[in-house]
């Protein structure tokens, strides 16, 4: 395996800067100050054409004048100068750079030409770089911060890779308030030689990173991304936010970093397939990533809800339950134990509501430990932890009644085992997530955050974090590994497609489309294509009644509503009449497809599509005439493992139709899953295939049968 270039870029023993000076209002100076002020112990080698010293360090007039080969170059100069500077670093022997400078492909043709020059330098010398148009990196283990804002949180377990530089620098004060600490953070910018997949791979192999968060505007190679993500998510949790799926999001991503987005539904399927937990805000991305980095793995669905107020308890229970978690009633023995230490009117069942109680240790230590020790909960969400913040709030009202006692004196009267409370998750290997309306100015909340116990500012947010823990539990329960094993190409299918392409056909007709499917073992209707009225009798003897007659031509992609299809034909005379009517509607002696009528009340659909920059994707969903109206469908990137095909079946909203339903037997899931997996191989076996539409797939008894199909062709490999 090729060494990931981030291995040496993230761990430099020396850094040379080009573009940093002594003006604190300049961006380059701010980057350099972060390196110097946040504790980096390596060598700092500033390059400046005029200044003799930069921030107290001897400066060098050029890269060639540097006294040694720097491990890393940090570049913040106008875009036209960047290719030459990178080449100078490469000639010097530097292996990696960070290019903060903007003005490349995100700005148009001129910027694109500069970026092509950079790619040429990389190809000639083997030098790799993060960016351009990025904010750099953070490596907390060596106190390295190359961004423009201070990182003062210390080491942590959350690895972060972002296609936005802002999200690893402007949000640092937010992270500090929340107690969230990075292991590593990487702003990939335009991803010219190092992209989001490289960052994911590096963080996945980094022992200090316990969970990974990704901010994504687009992925250039979704196939490689999927392969890497599958490996990583089997070992550690990954959460992601994708914002390039709308027209506005894609347009913004293109102008921001030049990232090429794709429809939201494709990335939704890609993340699901990769085992990545998708989130929809930067707040959730960082907060849930932190929970996954700091808490034990959830081992089941049972959640204990503990609170000192009914409303927050109900909100947490409701959010957990709606997300698929269980809030089981506690056993009689556990309820008796809890009831013995809380007021008679308080609830002890689950949620446990101790109501107003100044013994905060009851809520934060005693009862959580009872629940964890009982083995009746796999995780706990807790609302109401607070101490000094509460005293500050009520002090103006109670001061006179307490004879002028100071807040500090009052606070000292309320002592509980905060260390023991914070240690509970790892003592019992049960995750604990806390909600409180207090912030870190409350000593209790500050202590929790110092001890890596996540605290949220609302009950629902805490409960949603538990849903992400549950999401990763489901990922770990997957069994397949490795890349799907592709079948060999079928010679008859190669001939069929080659002949169509040679004739300039934009798509196969329905008969050819289903022949192609059948050659790979996908079940289709019994049928035959005829060209004259004389053939109808013998064909019907083979196909049987009831039958369907359809116009069959590669020039007619869709027949419904055009008078080109007749169904439920029960006699030869009716069939002959159908032939005349269809040819009259078509305006020519069009070929005709005579097929069996498959009986079944459940109709599904499946297909293949390609999108520029994404690659071939597989669709599965509800079929028939309501396909577009219901839009109940899911997508995955091709090719599929069989388990992924099976998972697709039960990801649609109408999955209940696949089981026993109103007297109908359950669908043959094994056959349907193999059918979807086989379909996923076709655009890779035959790159000429642009799209496939199978609609409907009729469930005949228990078996799926492709009753109609269309294969669209392309002269090249799109997307």
> Rounded mean pLDDT of 597-609?
93
pLDDT for residue 407: 77
Single out the residue of 111, 102, 181 nearest to residue 135, CA to CA: 102
Q: Is the pLDDT of residue 43 over 80?
A: yes
Q: Which of helix, strand or coil describes residue 646?
A: helix
pLDDT for residue 256: 42
Cα separation, 635 vs 102, whole angstroms: 35
Prediction pTM value:
0.91
pLDDT for residue 719: 42
pLDDT for residue 8: 95
Helix spans in 388-490 (H):
388-398, 407-413, 418-428, 443-450, 459-476
Least confident of 132-146, 575-589, 629-643: 575-589
pLDDT for residue 532: 73
Helix spans in 209-309 (H):
222-233, 247-256, 264-274, 282-294
**What's the gap between Cα 557 and its chain centre?**
35
Q: What is the pLDDT of residues 413-465, one digit of tens each?
A: 777 788 999 999 999 999 999 999 999 889 999 999 999 999 999 999 999 99
At the topology level, CATH places domain 297-470 in: Rossmann fold (3.40.50)
pLDDT for residue 261: 55
Class of domain 6-149+158-292: alpha beta
> Rounded mean pLDDT of 551-561?
75
Instruction: Yes or no: say if 136 and 188 are a contact pair by the CB < 8 Å rule.
Output: no
Q: CB 587: neighbour CB atoms within 10 A?
A: 7
3-state helix vs strand vs coil in the chain, percent to 5: 40, 20, 40
Confidence of residue 558 (pLDDT cuts 50, 70, 90): low
pLDDT for residue 586: 82
Instruction: Yes or no: say if 169 and 128 are a contact pair by the CB < 8 Å rule.
Output: no
Query: What percent of the chain has pLDDT above 90?
Result: 74
Instruction: Tell me the torsion sign for CA atoms 606, 609, 613, 615.
Output: positive
Q: The tokens 């083995």 sit on which residue? A: 375
Please list the residue range(s) of the chain that carry CATH number 3.40.50.261.
6-149+158-292, 297-470
**Beta 602-611 vs 128-130: how paired, if at all?**
unpaired
pLDDT for residue 562: 72
> Rounded mean pLDDT of 702-709?
95
Please list the residue range(s) of the chain that carry CATH number 3.30.470.20.
602-713
Q: What is the pLDDT of residues 263-306, one digit of tens each?
A: 899 999 999 999 999 999 999 999 999 999 999 999 999 999 99
Give the C-alpha distances (Å, rounded to integers) separating 544 from 471, 511, 567, 598, 599: 50, 17, 13, 11, 13
HEC per residue, 696-708: EEEEECCEEEECC
**Beta 689-700 vs 709-713: how paired, if at all?**
antiparallel
Q: What is the pLDDT of residues 310-363, one digit of tens each?
A: 999 999 999 999 999 999 999 999 999 999 999 989 999 999 999 987 788 899
In eight-state DSSP terms, residue 297 is P
Q: Is the pLDDT of residue 705 over 50?
A: yes
> Rounded mean pLDDT of 699-714?
94
Cα separation, 621 vs 630, whole angstroms: 10
**Beta 703-706 vs 689-700: how paired, if at all?**
antiparallel
Please list the residue range(s) of the chain that carry CATH number 3.30.1490.20.
526-596
Tell me what the pLDDT averaged over the chain comes to. 91
Instruction: Yes or no: say if 709 and 532 are a contact pair by the CB < 8 Å rule.
Output: no
> Rounded mean pLDDT of 558-583?
82
Instruction: Yes or no: say if 607 and 694 are a contact pair by the CB < 8 Å rule.
Output: yes
Instruction: Yes or no: say if 577 and 563 are a contact pair by the CB < 8 Å rule.
Output: no
Q: Dihedral angle at the C-alpha atoms of 700, 702, 703, 706, nearest 10 degrees? A: 50
Q: What is the pLDDT of residues 63-109, one digit of tens each?
A: 999 999 999 999 999 999 999 999 999 999 999 999 999 989 888 89
Confidence of residue 250 (pLDDT cuts 50, 70, 90): very low
Give the C-alpha distances (Å, rounded to integers) separating 693 from 256, 269, 621, 653, 718: 35, 18, 12, 20, 17
Confidence of residue 557 (pLDDT cuts 50, 70, 90): low
> Rounded mean pLDDT of 163-169?
93
pLDDT for residue 277: 98
pLDDT for residue 530: 86
Single out the residue of 262, 254, 229, 361 nearest to residue 306, CA to CA: 361
CATH number of 602-713: 3.30.470.20
CA angle 427, 433, 438 (to 5 degrees): 120
> Rg for the chain (alpha carbons), in Å?
32
pLDDT for residue 656: 92
Helix spans in 143-241 (H):
172-178, 196-205, 222-233
> Per residue in 219-245, is it b (16+ CB within 10 Å) or e — as a string?
beebbebbbbbbbbbeebbbbbbbbbb
Tokens of 704: 């799926």
Q: What is the pLDDT of residues 353-405, one digit of tens each?
A: 999 877 888 999 999 999 999 999 999 999 999 887 787 888 888 888 888 78
The span from the first CA to the last CA of the chain, in angstroms, equals: 27
Q: What is the pLDDT of residues 103-132, one digit of tens each?
A: 898 888 998 999 999 999 999 999 999 999
CATH number of 526-596: 3.30.1490.20
Q: Give 25's contacts (C-beta < 8 A, 6+ positions apart).
A: none
């Amino acid at each position: 395996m090729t060494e990931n270039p981030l291995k040496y870029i993230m761990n430099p023993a020396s850094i040379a800067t080009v573009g940093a000076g002594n003006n604190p209002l300049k961006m380059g100076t701010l980057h350099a100050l972060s390196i110097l002020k946040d504790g980096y112990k390596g060598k700092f080698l500033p390059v400046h054409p005029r200044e003799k010293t930069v921030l107290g360090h001897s400066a060098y007039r050029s890269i060639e004048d540097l006294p040694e080969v720097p491990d890393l170059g940090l570049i913040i100069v106008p875009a036209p100068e960047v290719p030459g500077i990178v080449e100078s670093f490469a000639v010097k022997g530097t292996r990696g750079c960070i290019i903060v400078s903007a003005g490349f492909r995100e700005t148009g043709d001129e910027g694109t030409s500069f970026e092509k020059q950079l790619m040429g330098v990389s190809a000639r010398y083997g030098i790799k770089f993060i960016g351009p148009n990025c904010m750099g990196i953070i490596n907390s283990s060596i106190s390295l911060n190359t961004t423009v804002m201070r990182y003062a949180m210390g080491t942590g377990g959350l690895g972060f890779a972002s296609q936005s530089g802002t999200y690893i620098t402007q949000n640092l004060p937010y992270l500090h308030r929340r107690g969230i600490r990075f292991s590593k953070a990487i702003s990939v910018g335009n991803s010219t030689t190092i992209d989001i997949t490289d960052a994911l791979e590096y963080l996945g192999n980094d022992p200090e990173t316990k969970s990974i968060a990704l901010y994504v505007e687009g992925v250039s190679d979704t196939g490689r991304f999927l392969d890497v993500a599958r490996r990583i998510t089997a070992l550690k949790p990954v959460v992601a936010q994708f914002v390039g799926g709308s027209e506005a999001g894609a347009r913004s991503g293109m102008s921001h970093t030049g990232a090429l987005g794709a429809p939201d539904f494709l990335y939704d399927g890609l993340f699901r397939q990769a085992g990545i937990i998708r989130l929809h805000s930067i707040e959730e991305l960082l907060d849930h990533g932190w929970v996954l980095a700091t808490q034990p793995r959830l081992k089941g669905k049972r959640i204990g809800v503990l609170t000192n107020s009914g409303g927050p308890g109900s909100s947490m229970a409701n959010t957990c339950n709606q997300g698929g978690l269980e809030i089981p009633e506690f056993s009689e023995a556990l309820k008796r134990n809890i009831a013995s230490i809380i007021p008679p009117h308080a609830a002890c069942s689950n949620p446990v509501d101790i109501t107003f109680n100044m013994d905060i240790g009851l809520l934060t230590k005693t009862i959580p430990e009872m629940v964890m020790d009982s083995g009746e909960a796999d995780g706990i969400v807790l609302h109401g932890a607070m101490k000094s913040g509460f005293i500050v709030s009520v002090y103006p009202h109670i001061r006179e009644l307490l004879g002028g006692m100071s807040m500090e004196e009052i606070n000292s009267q309320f002592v509980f085992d905060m260390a023991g409370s914070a240690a509970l998750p790892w003592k019992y290997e049960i995750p604990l997530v806390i909600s409180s309306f207090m912030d870190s100015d409350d000593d209790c909340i500050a202590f929790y955050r110092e001890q890596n116990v996540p605290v949220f500012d609302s009950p629902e947010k805490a409960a949603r974090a538990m849903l992400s823990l549950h999401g990763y539990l489901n990922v770990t329960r997957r069994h397949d590994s490795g890349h799907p094993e592709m079948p060999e190409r079928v010679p008859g299918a190669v001939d069929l497609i080659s002949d169509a392409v040679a004739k300039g056909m934009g798509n196969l007709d329905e008969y050819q489309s289903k022949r192609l499917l059948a050659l790979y073992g996908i079940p289709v209707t019994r049928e035959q294509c005829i060209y004259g009225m004389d053939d109808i009798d013998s064909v019907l003897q083979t196909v049987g009644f009831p039958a369907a007659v359809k116009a069959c031509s590669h020039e007619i992609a869709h027949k419904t509503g055009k008078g080109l299809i007749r169904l439920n034909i029960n006699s030869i005379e009716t069939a002959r009449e159908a032939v005349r009517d269809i040819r009259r509607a078509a305006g020519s002696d069009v070929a005709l497809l005579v097929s069996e009528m498959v009986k079944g009340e459940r109709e599904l659909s499946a297909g293949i599509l390609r999108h520029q920059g994404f690659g071939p994707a597989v669709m599965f969903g509800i079929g028939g005439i309501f396909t577009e109206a219901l839009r109940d469908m899911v997508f995955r990137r091709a090719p599929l493992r069989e388990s992924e095909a099976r998972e697709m079946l039960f990801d649609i909203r109408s999955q209940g139709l696949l089981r026993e339903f109103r007297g109908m037997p359950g669908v043959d899931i094994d056959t349907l899953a193999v059918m979807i997996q086989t379909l996923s191989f076709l655009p890779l076996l035959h790159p000429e295939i642009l799209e496939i539409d199978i609609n409907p797939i009729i469930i005949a008894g228990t078996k799926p049968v492709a009753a109609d199909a269309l294969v669209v062709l392309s002269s090249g490999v799109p997307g």
